[in-house]
């Protein structure tokens, strides 16, 4: 049997900050090997009293563990997104159990957009556009083109970027969940 890293695919999360709003969307597909297991999974959600949006890619149980840990940090630091993200990244990188989790997260409070990884990264994209997951590069390219060449709203850009990714990536579908903050 192959390594677990290569078995599960099927997430695309895209986030765009534009005109004082942050829109984050994710597709609903979960794939095991070459089989679609679920088409309407919710991978983008509101956390911390609905003040922060988070989207995750990776192993589902690992992603839920990270969201729980991130909410703990947000509670500890009174909803301070950057502080919570940095503290989670430090724990994620150093903790023997967390270090093995295979997931990534995009989080936003409407002001900042951050990418969190198990390598200890807390990255704020300079253009306010980020995408992760199987179709992440397709969605990222589409979002950057749409923000540059259209007058679309942030929420319309992420939806269209995910639709474009779904047309290209077999691990991405058009069952899109969207959250807007700001």
Task: Give the number of C-alpha atoms closer than 13 A to the C-alpha of residue 165, restricted to the C-beta side.
Answer: 37
**What are the φ and ψ backbone dihedral angles of 123, each rounded to 5 degrees?**
-115, 130
Q: pLDDT tens, 107-132?
A: 999 999 999 987 888 999 999 999 99
Angle at 13 between CA 27 and CA 97, to 5 degrees: 110
Catalytic residue from among 11, 12, 31, 172: 11
Which pTM does this prediction carry?
0.91
Q: Greatest CA span in the chain, whole angstroms?
A: 48
All domains in the chain, ordered by first residue: 4-170 (3.60.20.10)
The token pair at 57 is 């890619």
| Predicted local confidence at residue 9, as pLDDT | 54
Q: pLDDT tens, 133-179?
A: 999 999 999 999 999 999 999 999 999 999 999 999 999 999 999 99
Band (pLDDT 50/70/90 cuts) for residue 3 is very low
- DSSP secondary structure, 77-126, as one string: TTT-HHHHHHHHHHHHHH-TTGGG--EEEEEE-SS-EEEEETTS-EE--T
Q: Is 11 considered catalytic here? A: yes
């Amino acid at each position: 049997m192959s390594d677990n890293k290569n078995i599960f695919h099927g997430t695309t999360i895209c986030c765009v900050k534009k005109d004082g709003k942050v829109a984050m969307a994710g597709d609903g597909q979960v794939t095991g090997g070459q089989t679609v297991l679920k088409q309407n999974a919710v991978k983008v959600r509101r956390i911390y009293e609905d003040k922060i949006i988070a989207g995750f890619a990776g192993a589902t149980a690992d992603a839920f563990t990270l969201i729980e840990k991130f909410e703990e940090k947000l509670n500890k630091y009174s909803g301070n997104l950057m502080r919570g993200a940095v503290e989670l990244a430090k724990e994620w990188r150093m903790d023997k159990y967390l270090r093995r989790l295979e997931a990534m997260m995009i989080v936003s409070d409407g002001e900042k957009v951050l990418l969190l990884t198990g390598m200890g990264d807390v990255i704020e994209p300079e253009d306010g556009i980020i995408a992760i997951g199987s179709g992440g590069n397709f969605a990222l390219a589409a979002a950057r083109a749409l923000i540059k060449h259209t007058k679309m709203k942030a929420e319309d850009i992420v939806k269209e970027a995910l639709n474009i990714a779904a047309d290209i990536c077999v691990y991405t579908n058009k069952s899109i969940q969207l959250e807007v903050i700001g």
